[in-house]
Protein backbone atom coordinates (compact mmCIF):
# COMPACT_ATOMS: atom_id res chain seq x y z
CA UNK A 1 0.00 0.00 0.00
CA UNK A 2 1.45 3.31 -1.07
CA UNK A 3 0.46 6.75 0.25
CA UNK A 4 0.27 9.65 -2.15
CA UNK A 5 3.30 11.90 -1.96
CA UNK A 6 1.15 15.04 -1.63
CA UNK A 7 0.05 14.03 1.89
CA UNK A 8 3.50 13.04 3.07
CA UNK A 9 5.58 15.75 4.63
CA UNK A 10 9.27 15.14 4.64
CA UNK A 11 10.75 17.39 7.28
CA UNK A 12 14.45 17.79 7.26
CA UNK A 13 15.79 17.96 10.79
CA UNK A 14 17.92 21.04 11.49
CA UNK A 15 21.69 20.62 11.54
CA UNK A 16 23.69 21.05 14.71
CA UNK A 17 24.83 24.50 13.52
CA UNK A 18 21.23 25.58 12.87
CA UNK A 19 20.17 24.32 16.30
CA UNK A 20 22.95 26.35 17.93
CA UNK A 21 21.95 29.45 15.95
CA UNK A 22 18.27 29.09 16.87
CA UNK A 23 19.09 28.56 20.55
CA UNK A 24 21.32 31.64 20.51
CA UNK A 25 18.60 33.73 18.82
CA UNK A 26 16.02 32.61 21.38
CA UNK A 27 18.38 33.45 24.24
CA UNK A 28 18.56 37.08 23.08
CA UNK A 29 14.77 37.51 23.33
CA UNK A 30 12.48 37.70 26.32
CA UNK A 31 8.82 37.25 27.13
CA UNK A 32 6.22 37.07 24.38
CA UNK A 33 8.79 37.64 21.60
CA UNK A 34 10.79 34.60 22.72
CA UNK A 35 7.68 32.43 22.98
CA UNK A 36 6.51 33.52 19.52
CA UNK A 37 9.92 32.71 18.05
CA UNK A 38 10.07 29.32 19.77
CA UNK A 39 6.53 28.50 18.59
CA UNK A 40 7.39 29.45 14.98
CA UNK A 41 10.52 27.27 15.02
CA UNK A 42 8.57 24.43 16.64
CA UNK A 43 5.97 24.57 13.86
CA UNK A 44 8.68 24.74 11.21
CA UNK A 45 11.03 22.03 12.45
CA UNK A 46 9.08 19.91 14.97
CA UNK A 47 5.56 19.69 13.47
CA UNK A 48 4.22 21.85 16.31
CA UNK A 49 5.18 19.31 18.96
CA UNK A 50 6.41 20.98 22.17
CA UNK A 51 8.00 17.78 23.50
CA UNK A 52 9.98 17.29 20.32
CA UNK A 53 11.12 20.94 20.49
CA UNK A 54 12.30 20.29 24.03
CA UNK A 55 14.35 17.33 22.82
CA UNK A 56 15.76 19.02 19.71
CA UNK A 57 16.37 22.58 20.90
CA UNK A 58 16.49 22.19 24.68
CA UNK A 59 13.72 24.71 25.27
CA UNK A 60 11.20 24.19 28.07
CA UNK A 61 8.16 22.39 26.67
CA UNK A 62 5.76 24.40 28.84
CA UNK A 63 7.11 27.65 27.42
CA UNK A 64 6.87 26.31 23.88
CA UNK A 65 3.32 25.05 24.53
CA UNK A 66 2.36 28.50 25.82
CA UNK A 67 3.90 30.09 22.72
CA UNK A 68 1.94 27.70 20.49
CA UNK A 69 -1.28 28.55 22.34
CA UNK A 70 -0.59 32.27 21.96
CA UNK A 71 0.08 31.74 18.26
CA UNK A 72 -3.11 29.74 17.81
CA UNK A 73 -5.42 32.12 19.71
CA UNK A 74 -3.68 35.45 19.05
CA UNK A 75 -3.98 36.32 22.76
CA UNK A 76 -0.79 37.23 24.61
CA UNK A 77 -0.56 35.80 28.12
CA UNK A 78 0.64 37.91 31.01
CA UNK A 79 2.25 36.25 33.97
CA UNK A 80 1.23 37.16 37.49
CA UNK A 81 4.77 38.38 38.16
CA UNK A 82 4.74 41.04 35.46
CA UNK A 83 1.08 41.94 35.89
CA UNK A 84 1.13 42.44 39.66
CA UNK A 85 4.75 43.21 40.50
CA UNK A 86 6.23 46.51 41.46
CA UNK A 87 5.82 48.73 44.44
CA UNK A 88 3.29 51.55 44.42
CA UNK A 89 4.55 55.09 44.74
CA UNK A 90 4.48 56.74 48.14
CA UNK A 91 1.88 59.25 46.91
CA UNK A 92 -0.45 56.38 45.95
CA UNK A 93 -0.04 54.59 49.27
CA UNK A 94 -0.53 57.74 51.40
CA UNK A 95 -2.73 60.18 49.44
CA UNK A 96 -3.73 62.28 52.48
CA UNK A 97 -0.13 62.83 53.55
CA UNK A 98 0.80 63.60 49.94
CA UNK A 99 -1.93 66.26 49.79
CA UNK A 100 -0.63 67.81 53.02
CA UNK A 101 2.89 67.79 51.57
CA UNK A 102 1.67 69.53 48.40
CA UNK A 103 -0.01 72.27 50.45
CA UNK A 104 3.11 72.68 52.55
CA UNK A 105 5.36 72.92 49.48
CA UNK A 106 2.95 75.36 47.79
CA UNK A 107 3.23 77.66 50.79
CA UNK A 108 7.03 77.78 50.37
CA UNK A 109 7.16 77.80 46.56
CA UNK A 110 8.12 80.54 44.15
CA UNK A 111 7.66 80.45 40.38
CA UNK A 112 10.75 80.83 38.22
CA UNK A 113 11.03 84.58 37.50
CA UNK A 114 11.75 83.96 33.82
CA UNK A 115 8.72 81.61 33.46
CA UNK A 116 10.85 79.28 31.33
CA UNK A 117 9.70 76.19 33.23
CA UNK A 118 6.52 75.17 34.96
CA UNK A 119 8.51 73.94 37.96
CA UNK A 120 8.43 76.00 41.11
CA UNK A 121 11.45 76.49 43.31
CA UNK A 122 10.97 75.92 47.01
CA UNK A 123 13.06 76.77 50.04
CA UNK A 124 11.60 73.77 51.82
CA UNK A 125 14.12 70.96 52.27
CA UNK A 126 13.13 67.32 52.41
CA UNK A 127 14.16 67.10 56.05
CA UNK A 128 12.16 70.22 56.93
CA UNK A 129 9.14 68.82 55.06
CA UNK A 130 9.34 65.61 57.10
CA UNK A 131 9.54 67.57 60.33
CA UNK A 132 6.60 69.78 59.35
CA UNK A 133 4.46 66.76 58.46
CA UNK A 134 5.42 65.09 61.73
CA UNK A 135 4.31 68.24 63.59
CA UNK A 136 0.97 68.06 61.76
CA UNK A 137 0.39 64.70 63.44
CA UNK A 138 1.42 62.16 60.80
CA UNK A 139 3.10 59.00 62.04
CA UNK A 140 6.73 58.14 61.28
CA UNK A 141 5.75 55.02 59.30
CA UNK A 142 3.65 57.17 56.95
CA UNK A 143 6.56 59.46 56.10
CA UNK A 144 9.24 58.55 53.56
CA UNK A 145 12.97 58.94 54.06
CA UNK A 146 14.49 62.34 53.19
CA UNK A 147 15.84 61.09 49.85
CA UNK A 148 12.43 59.69 48.89
CA UNK A 149 10.81 62.91 50.09
CA UNK A 150 13.05 64.86 47.68
CA UNK A 151 11.99 62.57 44.81
CA UNK A 152 8.32 62.98 45.73
CA UNK A 153 8.65 66.77 45.74
CA UNK A 154 10.34 66.63 42.33
CA UNK A 155 7.52 64.44 40.98
CA UNK A 156 5.03 66.97 42.31
CA UNK A 157 6.78 69.71 40.34
CA UNK A 158 8.89 71.37 43.03
CA UNK A 159 12.62 71.90 42.82
CA UNK A 160 14.55 71.85 46.04
CA UNK A 161 16.64 74.95 45.42
CA UNK A 162 17.31 78.23 47.05
CA UNK A 163 14.81 80.81 45.92
CA UNK A 164 16.42 83.31 43.59
CA UNK A 165 16.13 86.82 44.93
CA UNK A 166 15.53 89.69 42.56
CA UNK A 167 18.91 90.53 41.05
CA UNK A 168 19.83 94.21 40.80
CA UNK A 169 20.35 95.80 37.42
CA UNK A 170 23.92 95.60 36.34
CA UNK A 171 24.00 99.03 34.73
CA UNK A 172 21.96 101.99 35.82
CA UNK A 173 21.05 104.70 33.31
CA UNK A 174 23.18 107.18 35.29
CA UNK A 175 26.24 104.91 35.21
CA UNK A 176 27.78 106.59 32.16
CA UNK A 177 27.43 110.04 33.72
CA UNK A 178 29.01 108.84 36.97
CA UNK A 179 31.96 107.26 35.16
CA UNK A 180 32.53 110.38 33.04
CA UNK A 181 32.51 112.54 36.20
CA UNK A 182 35.09 110.27 37.86
CA UNK A 183 37.34 110.42 34.79
CA UNK A 184 37.30 114.23 34.83
CA UNK A 185 38.35 114.44 38.47
CA UNK A 186 41.21 111.93 38.39
CA UNK A 187 44.47 113.11 36.81
CA UNK A 188 45.94 111.06 34.02
CA UNK A 189 49.22 109.30 34.87
CA UNK A 190 52.33 110.75 33.18
CA UNK A 191 54.57 108.51 31.21
CA UNK A 192 58.29 108.81 31.89
CA UNK A 193 60.61 108.77 28.99
CA UNK A 194 63.07 105.94 29.10
CA UNK A 195 66.69 106.80 28.46
CA UNK A 196 68.89 104.48 26.53
CA UNK A 197 72.58 104.33 27.54
Tens digit of pLDDT at every position of the chain (197 positions)? 444 444 445 467 888 999 999 999 999 998 889 999 999 999 999 999 999 999 999 999 999 999 999 999 999 887 777 667 778 888 889 999 999 998 888 887 766 666 665 555 667 788 888 999 999 999 888 898 888 888 888 888 777 655 455 565 566 667 777 777 777 776 666 666 665 55
Q: In angstroms, rounded to a whole number, what is the distance separating the alpha carbons of residues 158 and 53? A: 55
**Does 6 map to a domain?**
no
Same-domain pairing of 104 and 142: yes
**Does 170 map to a domain?**
no
CB neighbours (10 Å) of residue 148? 14
Number of domains in the chain: 2
Boundaries of domain holding 37: 16-76
**Does 83 map to a domain?**
no
Specify the pLDDT at position 67: 94
Specify the pLDDT at position 28: 93
**Does 106 map to a domain?**
yes
**Does 171 map to a domain?**
no
pTM of the complete model: 0.41
Specify the pLDDT at position 50: 94
Specify the pLDDT at position 59: 93
Q: Are 147 and 123 in contact (CB under 8 A)?
A: no
User: Which residues touch 92 (CB under 8 Å, ≥6 apart)?
Assistant: none
**Does 127 map to a domain?**
yes
Nearest to 104 by CA among 133, 127, 146: 133
Same-domain pairing of 95 and 62: no
Specify the pLDDT at position 157: 79
Amino acid sequence: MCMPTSTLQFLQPPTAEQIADLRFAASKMTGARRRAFQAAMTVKYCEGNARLAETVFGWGRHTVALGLAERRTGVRCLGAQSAFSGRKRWEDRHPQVAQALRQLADAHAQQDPTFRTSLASTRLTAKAARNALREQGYEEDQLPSPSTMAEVLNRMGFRLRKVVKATPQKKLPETDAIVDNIKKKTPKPRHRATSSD
